[in-house]
């Protein structure tokens, strides 16, 4: 059988960056997307639950996965047209950061602010990855996926993907689409985004007056490595909570009580608040319960100091949600997919 590998009762410990020791009834690693229909037709796969997994950098397992974990290991990058901009089709299993660096090396602009985000290209549209003032949605022309409901290949254009802050069609219809490739449209040059806090200062420290995309990428790498704990050193899934978006009245009241609360007004009048600030101010930064903790470097990051189980990590996350709500009346929501959440 070419194109995929099947393992029964497989460990997922090295397949999630929170390093939770979970297992899957069946692990199917797929290297050839054209074999998906054949794989999905196996009775053991067809009749059970399915979870698509990239690098597991945005997943918390609170229990074993009873069903098939489909690990995307497809590869390939195709530049479809060129000129002032290019259309680039990328297989879902490619590493996001490798792709970003490749685009910079080829002289394309756009993805520089999104450098060093862990994970696969196929996962990037799921929560519309974003950092340092940019979101991937802006560069996604279309997404190719296997629609498990209609049982056919579909091509979803950018509007259909309904991208929003840490959100998309794929999060609203979980499990329906298996993304096999993402088609990007990237320009050769564009106005750089350097307004996110810290970028201009870092470019100045680097002595760069007229930045090119790779300078911005270098500045972002510096900021990210100085702020976020490295999953290779300590288990984590990046921000564990989304920045909450609240109505203007609640934001105004909170700003009155806490003028230093970082807040970003949204086009529709709502206001995005800094979850890290809320968590730190509620007293959770650096807390530890057994091996489950909140990073002392960044209050948004749930960390596994060693052998924390999924339920232990989830219990601490819930304590943070309850604690922040008690102090500020703001409801935090997890960013990662939580398997087995009740
Ligand atoms: P996984 O964690 O494997 O999966 C995430 C979700 O996508 C799951 O629901 C899964 O079922 C689904 N999925 C994955 N692949 C597919 C596919 N091919 N088809 C259908 N569904 C799929 N995110 C940001 O937005 N910005 C950041 O700045 C950022 N920084 C991070 C820093 C660190 C240190 C870490 C650990 C994480 C960070 N993240 C950030 C979160 C994470 O990197 C992204 O969400 C990334 O896109 C997840 O990719 P993955 O391949 O690991 O997906
Ligand atoms: N802050 C605190 N305490 C902390 C950390 C930060 O009060 O411990 C305050 C900072 O002072 C700052 C504000 O929070 O004013 C924002 O901090 P930061 O720039 O680190 O951004 P963030 O809102 O915490 C978001 C994304 C990150 C992304 C960065 C950079 C979400 C949920 N998180 O974090 O994405 O890398 O901005 O753009 O939107 C991820 O999604 O996994 C992720 C890491």
Ligand nearest to the CA of 224: 2
68 vs 24: CA distance, rounded Å = 7
* Dihedral of alpha carbons 167, 312, 11, 39, sign: negative
Between the CA of 208 and the centroid of ligand 1 the distance, in Å, is 32
Which of 284, 113, 81 shows the shortest CA–CA distance to 191?
113
Instruction: Provide the 10 A C-beta neighbour count for residue 45.
Output: 18
Structure tokens, 46: 């067809």
Q: What is the average per-residue pLDDT within 165-187?
A: 97
Confidence check: pLDDT of 118 > 90: yes
Q: What percent of the chain has pLDDT over 70?
A: 100
Confidence check: pLDDT of 6 > 80: yes
Mean pLDDT of the chain: 97
* CA of 72, closest atom in ligand 1: 18
CB contact at 8 A, 281 and 326:
no
Which of 267, 266, 219, 217 shows the shortest CA–CA distance to 243?
266
Could you identify the residue written with the tokens 């993907």?
A: 161
pLDDT in the model for residue 261: 98
Which of 54, 44, 52 shows the shortest CA–CA distance to 15?
54
79 vs 89: CA distance, rounded Å = 6
Does the beta carbon of 328 sit less than 6 angstroms from any atom of ligand 2?
no
CATH, domain 77-187, list 3.40.30.10, 3.40.50.1100, 3.30.465.10, 3.90.700.10: 3.30.465.10
Could you tell me where the DSSP H helices lie in 3-161?
36-40, 43-46, 96-105, 158-161
pLDDT in the model for residue 81: 77
Instruction: Provide the 10 A C-beta neighbour count for residue 289.
Output: 14
Tell me how far apart the 2 most distant CA atoms of the chain are, in Å.
64
Does the beta carbon of 279 sit less than 6 angstroms from any atom of ligand 2?
no
CB-based burial of residue 60 (10 Å sphere; 0-12 exposed, 13-18 middle, 19+ buried)?
buried
CATH, domain 235-339, list 3.60.15.10, 3.90.78.10, 1.20.1250.20, 3.40.50.720: 3.90.78.10
Q: What is the average per-residue pLDDT within 195-210?
A: 97
Q: Does domain 4-72 have CATH number 3.30.43.10?
A: yes
Q: What percent of the chain has pLDDT over 90?
A: 98
- Whose Cα sits closest to atom 2 in ligand 2? 277
pLDDT in the model for residue 258: 98
Give yes or no: 85 in active site.
no
CB contact at 8 A, 112 and 221:
no
Does the beta carbon of 236 sit less than 6 angstroms from any atom of ligand 1?
yes
72 vs 92: CA distance, rounded Å = 7
Confidence check: pLDDT of 215 > 80: yes
199 vs 205: CA distance, rounded Å = 10
Give the distance, in angstroms, between the CA of residue 176 and the centroid of all CA atoms in the same chain.
18
Catalytic residue, candidates 57, 142, 168, 239: 239
Structure tokens, 89: 């089709």
Does the beta carbon of 54 sit less than 6 angstroms from any atom of ligand 1?
yes
pLDDT band at 176 (very low <50, low <70, confident <90, very high): very high
Give yes or no: 57 in active site.
no
First-to-last alpha carbon distance for the chain, in angstroms, is 38
The pLDDT tens digits of the residues spanning 239-277 come to: 999 999 999 999 999 999 999 999 999 999 999 999 999
Q: What is the average per-residue pLDDT within 293-321?
A: 98
pLDDT in the model for residue 1: 55
- List the domain boundaries for the chain: 4-72, 77-187, 235-339
Distances (CA, A) of 134 to 26, 129, 192: 37, 9, 10
- Whose Cα sits closest to atom 53 in ligand 1? 54
CB contact at 8 A, 206 and 199:
no
The pLDDT tens digits of the residues spanning 46-94 come to: 999 999 999 999 999 999 999 999 999 999 999 987 789 999 999 999 9
Q: What is the average per-residue pLDDT within 176-183?
A: 98
Does the beta carbon of 274 sit less than 6 angstroms from any atom of ligand 2?
yes
Q: Ligand 2: which of 129, 242, 278, 300 to mutate, most ligand atoms within 8 Å of CB?
A: 300
pLDDT in the model for residue 342: 75
Could you tell me where the DSSP H helices lie in the chain?
36-40, 43-46, 96-105, 158-161, 169-172, 199-205, 213-227, 248-257, 275-281, 310-328
pTM here is: 0.98
Q: Do 235-339 and 77-187 fall under one CATH topology?
A: no
């Amino acid at each position: 059988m070419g194109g995929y590998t099947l393992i029964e009762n497989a460990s997922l410990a090295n397949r999630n960056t929170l390093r939770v020791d979970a297992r899957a009834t069946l692990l199917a690693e797929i290297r050839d997307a054209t074999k998906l229909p054949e794989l999905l037709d196996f009775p053991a796969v067809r009749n059970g639950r399915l979870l698509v997994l990239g690098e597991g950098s945005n997943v918390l397992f609170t229990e074993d996965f009873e069903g098939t974990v489909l690990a995307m290991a497809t590869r390939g990058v195709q530049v479809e047209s060129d000129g002032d901009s290019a259309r680039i089709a990328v297989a879902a299993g490619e590493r996001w950061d490798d792709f970003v660096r490749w685009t910079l090396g080829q002289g394309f602009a756009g993805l520089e602010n999104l450098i060093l985000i862990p994970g696969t290209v196929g996962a990037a549209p799921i929560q519309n990855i974003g950092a340092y003032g940019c979101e991937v949605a802006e560069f996604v022309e279309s997404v190719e996926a296997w629609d498990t409901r209609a049982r056919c290949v579909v091509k979803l254009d950018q509007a259909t993907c309904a991208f929003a802050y840490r959100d998309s069609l794929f999060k609203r219809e979980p499990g329906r689409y298996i993304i096999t490739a993402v088609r990007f449209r990237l320009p050769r040059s564009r106005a750089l985004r350097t307004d996110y806090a810290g970028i201009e200062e870092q470019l100045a420290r680097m002595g760069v007056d007229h930045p090119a995309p790779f300078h911005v990428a270098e500045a972002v790498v510096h900021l990210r490595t100085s702020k976020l704990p490295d999953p290779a050193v300590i288990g984590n899934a990046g921000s564990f909570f989304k920045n909450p978006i609240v109505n203007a009245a609640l934001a105004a009241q909170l700003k009155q009580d806490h003028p230093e609360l970082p807040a970003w007004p949204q086009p529709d009048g709502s206001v995005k608040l800094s979850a890290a600030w809320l968590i730190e101010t509620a007293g959770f930064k650096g807390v530890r319960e057994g091996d489950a903790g909140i990073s002392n470097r960044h209050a948004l990051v749930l960390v596994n100091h060693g052998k924390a189980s999924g339920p232990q990590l989830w219990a601490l996350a819930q304590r943070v949600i309850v604690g922040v709500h008690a102090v500020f009346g703001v409801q935090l929501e997890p960013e990662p997919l939580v398997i087995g959440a009740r």
